[in-house]
Amino acid sequence: MFEIKRLGLLSMAKIGAVFMAIIGLISIVGLTISKGGSFNPVVLVLVPLTYAVVGFVLGAVLAFLYNIVARFIGGMKIELEKADESFESDELEFDEEESEFTQT
């Protein structure tokens, strides 16, 4: 078991911004389709942008709160498993005559 002791504020803020921008874009496209296809291009930009700003702020706030709570009661515990290594290869060499890679 591993424990997430701390979340980076900026990384959480960026993730929140991207997720919320996608949700905003999906929302405005869905609303546009339901209204018969007519839309204002400014709204198509402003809604996802507004969602992204809100997501950025909320992501930072949630990371900040998580860090405070984790300090007192401990962080989330996660169980990790080593990935299947059967797909890992040794070195590959490029055979120019055959125009392909071969495993050495």
Question: Closest by alpha carbon to 47, among 30, 24, 74?
Answer: 24
Considering the chain, what is the average pLDDT of its residues? 85
The answer to whether 10 and 60 have CB atoms below 8 angstroms apart is yes
In a domain, 37, yes or no: yes
In a domain, 57, yes or no: yes
In a domain, 45, yes or no: yes
The answer to whether 56 and 48 have CB atoms below 8 angstroms apart is no
In a domain, 77, yes or no: yes
How do residues 15-28 score in pLDDT, each as one tens digit? Answer: 999 999 999 999 98
How do residues 56-83 score in pLDDT, each as one tens digit? Answer: 999 999 999 999 999 999 999 988 887 7
Q: How many domains does the chain have?
A: 1
User: pTM above 0.85?
Assistant: no
In a domain, 90, yes or no: no
β-pairing, 2-4 vs 76-78, is antiparallel
β-pairing, 92-95 vs 100-103, is antiparallel
More confident of the two residues 103 and 8:
8
Determine the structural domain holding residue 38 and report its residue range.
Answer: 2-82
